[in-house]
Amino acid sequence: MPDIRYRTQSDRLPRWHFTLGVAVLITVSALAVGLPVADGKVTELSEHLAVYHGPINVGIVRDGPRALLIDCGDGTVTGALPKLGIKKVVQVVFTHHHRDQACGAYDLAAGGTRIGVPKAERELFANPTSYWNDEKKLWCVSASYRPSPLTLTEPLKVDEAYSDGDELTFGPAKIRVLDTPGHTNGAVSYLVEVDGKRVVFSGDCIYDEGQVWNVYSLQKGFAKGDRRIGAYHGFMGDRWRLVESLGRIKDLHPDMLVPSHGRLMSDPAKAINTLAVRFETCYENYVAISALRHYFPELFTDYAGRAGQMPIRPGVKPPDCLRHFGTTWMLVSKTGAALVMDAGSASVVERLKKMLDRGEIKSIDGLWVTHYHNDHTAGIGAFQREFDCPCFADRRLAEVLTKPAAWRLPCLANDPIRVDRRSEDGQSWQWHEFKLTAYNYPGQTLYHDALLVESGELRMFFVGDSHTMAGIDDYCAQNRNWLGRGVGFQYCISLIEKLRPTHIFNCHVADAFTFTPEEIRFMRKNLDRREKLLGELVPWDHANYGTDASWVRCHPYTQQVRPGERVRLGVVVTNHSTKPNTVRCRAVLPKALGPARTSWSKLDVPAKAEKPLPIEFDIPMGVPSGRYVVPIDVQYGQRNLPQFTEAIVDVK
Ligand SMILES: [Zn+2]
Ligand SMILES: [Zn+2]
């Protein structure tokens, strides 16, 4: 066993305050609070066409007492129909499969309303259970948002499916279907021609002039020539397709655009052009300091050498005390003892055994884990079975490593990892001739750490996957890369500025590198600008609501219970605003689990803080075993967000 003497230093957590864990969730008596009345306003566009403004905009095409709806949202639209003289909803047609578009459809379908959906998303409406029961869509997922976790949780009877060019008539209205992928793979828009007007219902293609509802749903792989990168690397990757889709809408010269989320646009061309320009500005800013340029230079040749792009300096050879293989760095002491960082596959164990056999190293003293991605952890089980030494990781990261089922994160395997020592931010200890210091490092992912290794003149900083010599690794929105001074990469580069490492190491890169003070300033300025640019691109009061797909999440995300037991979960809300916000939540229970909804719980979340709101409900005796997906209705400030997140309950 190594000699690990912890010296406790002051906690240097980023300014943001974390309150995690289920321990705080015991008190349940949900504060039942009144539901603020949803907007509920109706805009009549013409005699036969209206828009209901609820949590989303719902199109109402009228033919006397009958109506066809475009999307139905949470279903509250039905309360507004009698005032319009509408007695029956004959049909609903959907733009895409997200729950906020369609969660109110079950009652309509039960009442005989015909359901029409985009052909490419038919299965996600009719058979979402196969998505939810597919473990491959939950674990070790390289980017988990196509299909999105906003997929319906129970099957909906589908009567018709449409694709590009299909035409429907309803009363005097002619409705043309247009494939408009981007926000989802199979999304469509509907051009409604009636009363001399041409109105496009564009789903979530665009929110308002120059804005989209969020950025994280655009996470997708893309290709250039014969080179392609996968979804994990595709931050904003589907913006091209979305802009193409919007171009097709523009070519129809509509008088008006009606988005699902957002404001009616009476100058569609201007709204779309502004969005296309903003996308390019944001992406150019993003590429300027992206670590991707190191891995895929040929995909970014258009940007290379442009003003405002950070030049890439070549790396240098690592010091002799280090070995690199796979995603592992190994520190070797003069005594022959080795400290291993990450173990991405069982072959690491074979390699280490050979090194021991050949006398290249004398002992293995410990394993340090940089983050939870399975290309860094898949060999840890085998490592721990073979070598008797402690595994250590940052306290916050250890929460993910030891209880993966409680989280939904990209590249996370559902195999708990034993962590023997949980380091606090800034804790130092001596290991042979090296002084080691552990840090929180919310870089490549929010749950990530770094290790500073000092010896003589050497200050070697192991940052997992957070940087290459090209800059920062923030290409998977689902990793939660927060923007803002004092958080995310702004925090990380400030730490580099302070620690002045002589070498920085990435697990996937054999060469060492550093950042000069000028490069740090360049990255800081770029991130300041990005916060502003992405802030303008989304209709929230901070960019992070648009890029952080988990700003409302359930913890634990999955849990196992038996019939008769109580489900306890926290809806963890991250307030990215600079002011406090009030959040209300309730669970929407699957039919088999009893009363339709829990009562509303309410919580005030301070500015720039993450807090859990407890929700509890019982699993009745006799409930068949199986997987139940429990959506959560959320009200955040003035925003009504039906079924905005979800938890998975496996009844055994
Ligand atoms: Zn959507
Ligand atoms: Zn990684």
331 and 246: one domain? no
Ligand (nearest to CA of 73): 1
Look at residue 144 in the predicted model and tell me its pLDDT: 64
Look at residue 289 in the predicted model and tell me its pLDDT: 98
Threshold 0.85, pTM exceeds: yes
- Kindly state whether residue 531 falls inside one of the protein's structural domains: no
122 and 259: one domain? yes
- Kindly state whether residue 17 falls inside one of the protein's structural domains: no
CA of 604 to the centre of ligand 1 (A): 27
440 and 565: one domain? no
CB atoms within 10 A of CB 311: 10
Ligand (nearest to CA of 291): 2
CA of 526 to the centre of ligand 2 (A): 22
Ligand (nearest to CA of 205): 1
Query: How confident is the model over 527-554, as pLDDT tens digits?
Result: 999 999 999 999 999 999 999 999 999 9
Q: Is the pLDDT of residue 40 over 70?
A: yes
Number of domains in the chain: 3
Q: What is the CATH number of the domain that holds 358?
A: 3.60.15.10
Average pLDDT over residues 578-595: 93
CA distances from 53 to 17, 74, 540 (A): 36, 11, 18
User: Strands 471-472, 558-561: parallel, antiparallel or unpaired by DSSP?
Assistant: unpaired
Percent of the chain with pLDDT over 70: 94
494 and 582: one domain? no
Q: What is the CATH number of the domain that holds 578?
A: 2.60.40.10
194 and 249: one domain? yes
- Kindly state whether residue 624 falls inside one of the protein's structural domains: yes
Query: How confident is the model over 150-162, as pLDDT tens digits?
Result: 999 999 999 999 9
Q: Is the pLDDT of residue 20 over 80?
A: no
Spatial contact of 550 and 478, defined as CB atoms under 8 Å apart: yes
Ligand (nearest to CA of 218): 1
- Kindly state whether residue 525 falls inside one of the protein's structural domains: no
484 and 350: one domain? yes
Look at residue 595 in the predicted model and tell me its pLDDT: 77
- DSSP letter string, 609-652: EEEEEEEEEE--TTPPSEEEEEEEEEEETTEEEEEEEEEEEEE-
Spatial contact of 552 and 644, defined as CB atoms under 8 Å apart: yes
171 and 69: one domain? yes
- Kindly state whether residue 52 falls inside one of the protein's structural domains: yes
385 and 448: one domain? yes
Residue after which a domain boundary falls, among 279, 295, 311: 295
- Kindly state whether residue 305 falls inside one of the protein's structural domains: no
139 and 253: one domain? yes
- Kindly state whether residue 11 falls inside one of the protein's structural domains: no
248 and 166: one domain? yes
427 sits in the region (left: phi over 0; alpha: psi -120 to 50; else beta) called beta
CA of 200 to the centre of ligand 1 (A): 16
Q: Which domain holds residue 164?
A: 47-295
Look at residue 25 in the predicted model and tell me its pLDDT: 30
pLDDT-derived band at 227, boundaries 50, 70, 90: confident
350 and 398: one domain? yes
Query: How confident is the model over 411-433, as pLDDT tens digits?
Result: 999 999 999 999 999 999 999 99
122 and 181: one domain? yes
CA of 343 to the centre of ligand 1 (A): 38
Separation between Cα atoms, residue 95 and residue 109, nearest integer Å: 17
Mean of the per-residue pLDDT values for the chain? Answer: 93
Tokens for 128, please give them.
């979402």
Separation between Cα atoms, residue 545 and residue 573, nearest integer Å: 11
Q: Is the pLDDT of residue 19 over 60?
A: no
- Kindly state whether residue 39 falls inside one of the protein's structural domains: no
Look at residue 606 in the predicted model and tell me its pLDDT: 96
CA of 561 to the centre of ligand 2 (A): 32
Tokens for 258, please give them.
């009606």
Tokens for 421, please give them.
């020592």
pLDDT-derived band at 10, boundaries 50, 70, 90: very low
CA-based nearest residue to 330, from 358, 372, 357, 360: 360
Ligand (nearest to CA of 151): 1
